Amino acid sequence: MSHIVIVLLVAAFIFRKPLGKLLSRQFPNRAKRQQVLATIIAAFLLVIAARLVALFW
């Protein structure tokens, strides 16, 4: 599972320009776009934190 997260993060980094253009088209409001990005990042961090807690439990 952690390999999948790493691959997704690398893919998001490589394709960040097209993803940014897609998000800017989907959410023209800058504040709303930043809120969506913050939600996505928070979700990734929660998944990683849950996996670390499960690993060391």
Taking alpha carbons only, the member of 54, 11, 43 closest to residue 3 is 11
**Joined tokens for residue 24:** 């800017």
Q: Which amino acid is at 56?
A: F
Residue 57 confidence (pLDDT): 84
Question: Is residue 1 very low, low, confident or very high in pLDDT (cuts 50, 70, 90)?
Answer: low
Coil, helix or strand at residue 10:
helix
Q: Which amino acid is at 11?
A: A
Residue 2 confidence (pLDDT): 67
The predicted model scores a pTM of 0.59
Residue 13's CB: how many other CB atoms inside 10 A? 9
**Joined tokens for residue 35:** 């809120």
How high does pLDDT run on average in the chain? 81
